[in-house]
Amino acid sequence: MQLTFLGAAREVTGSCYFVETDAVRFLVDCGMFQGGREADGKNRQAFDFDCRRVDFVLLTHAHIDHSGLLPRFVALGFRGPVYTTPATADLLHVMLPDSAHIQEKEAEWANYQRRARGAKVRRETAPLYTVAQAQSSLKRLRPAEYDEEVRPHRTVRCRFRDAGHILGSAVIEVWVSEGGRSRKLVFSGDLGQPGHPIVRDPVAIAEADLLLVESTYGNRMHKSMEDTLSELAFAVNDTVRRKGGNVIVPAFAVGRTQDILYLLTELMRQGRIEKDLDIYVDSPMATSATELTVKHREIVDAESRALLDRNRNNGGYPRIRFTEDVEDSMAINDIKSGAIIISASGMCEAGRIKHHLRYNLGRKECTIVITGFQAGGTPRPQAGGRRQGGAHLQGADPGAGRYLHHRRAVRPRRPGRADGVAGPLSPAAAANLCGSRGGRRRPGLCRPGARTPGLGGGGAPAAPDLGDIGARRPRV
């Protein structure tokens, strides 16, 4: 047996394992490389073997850094089945076409820039894959329930166990027979933390001949969930009651957005934050992912199911509003106080969050709450330096139970620039961060809003959305 790491080695994205024996060849995960100038080249150079000779693929979960190259893999000739959980399959029907939309628009923008500079264009930049190719790859999906034994090949059997990371995430147990001997491989995918909102706790795996582990924030000591809830409540109350501003929450559309909604609803139920708050979820993908969470309520934890039941008869609270179109998203900018705005992407480098940062970063009464891992080189807000005007940066991570509290002004970090640069964000810098410098916006970055899921909120405000780019986290 031969095991090859095709990605996520010496870096945190592009998870993909290649397992080969004399009888079978298969992949576990098919992730996209993300972040840095080299990512596009790595994605285009991936799979330097005959994809037609691969028998099947196993997917641990839907985040793009674990699934995002599947359309390209199929386009290069793979014709086998892709096994994953039903919830992951449903999420991929949202995330892979959205990822393809990003690829098409980024290629369009690159070609537009070259023409605008007057450069000679010998060959147009092609997208990594197209929406049509993403839709075609979805036909390969074969849902497998948790704990059900699957036999994708006569020499291989596998079982998906709950990983407690995001909806549908799985640890995959794989038994491979070769030369009269069976060996057990365990692929963790991304492991969740016990006690994490919405998802159930990870299933314990008793034994393995070979264990491959990835974990979210695995190199940190975590605060308790109660401490994290207290700090999140303080961030909301301090901003809304004392300062009279808005709370802006960059959050990944799949997983983290649903966590934040759950925690805010629970804080309202406990009376620790005001009920008279408007929560805006400004990401079509997050809307779809939230709808799928409701659909797959049988695999969420008991506390979350009880909260969903209570919200059906709660007198209209919380007021959660999901965006429907671009005009509605832009209308959120008229709200100067009392709003919690949750938007993708979680690392602030794409999507509608840039639109909201532009209008709120320069306001000292507002707070930016960082809720997840921020990769190096992304244009995330950084704390440090002089105490001047501008929004406050606070961090609450419900997944890791980790909290960063910086009472200093912030400005976006630029790749290659040292941390600790602070001060109020100028209008020019805000425009640069949000992709609209000089009054021009990138063409074609808007996509239609999604439906409103049944979580007790009315329809409301949407704007340019580049979708979820997948969670990027330290690898252990």
The domains of the chain, with CATH numbers, are 2-215 (3.60.15.10), 225-460 (3.40.50.10890)
Residue with token string 């997944």: 399
Nearest 5°: phi and psi at 80?
-90, 180
Q: Tokens representing 471?
A: 């969670």
Q: Describe the crossing of helices 86-116 and 284-295 by its angle, rounded to 10 degrees.
A: 170
Q: Is the pLDDT of residue 167 over 50?
A: yes
Least confident residue range of 58-62, 68-72, 376-380: 376-380
Query: Predicted confidence band at 51 (pLDDT cuts at 50, 70, 90)?
Result: very high
Per-residue pLDDT of 192-235, as tens digits, reads 888 888 999 999 999 999 999 885 566 677 778 888 899 899 99
pLDDT at 223: 78
Based on the number of CB atoms within 10 Å of its own CB, is 243 exposed (0-12), middle (13-18) or buried (19 or more)?
middle
pLDDT at 224: 83
How far is 31 from 10, CA to CA, in rounded Å? 15
pLDDT at 139: 98
The dihedral built from the CA positions of residue 278, 283, 287 and 289, taken in this order, carries a sign that is: negative
Residue with token string 């901003």: 239
Based on the number of CB atoms within 10 Å of its own CB, is 2 exposed (0-12), middle (13-18) or buried (19 or more)?
exposed
Q: Is the pLDDT of residue 365 over 50?
A: yes
pLDDT at 120: 78
N-term to C-term CA, the chain = 24
Query: Which residue type is seen at 419?
Result: D
- CB neighbour list of residue 306: distance below 8 Å, 6 or more residues apart: none
Residue 239 or 419, more confident: 239
Cβ pair 458, 203 in contact under 8 A: no
How far is 238 from 12, CA to CA, in rounded Å? 35
Cβ pair 170, 187 in contact under 8 A: no
pTM: 0.77
Nearest CA to 3 out of 212, 153, 152 is that of 212
Which of 24-28, 120-124, 305-309, 401-405 is predicted most confidently? Answer: 24-28
Per-residue pLDDT of 396-447, as tens digits, reads 544 333 323 332 233 333 333 322 222 333 444 333 333 333 333 333 333 3
Query: Predicted confidence band at 313 (pLDDT cuts at 50, 70, 90)?
Result: low
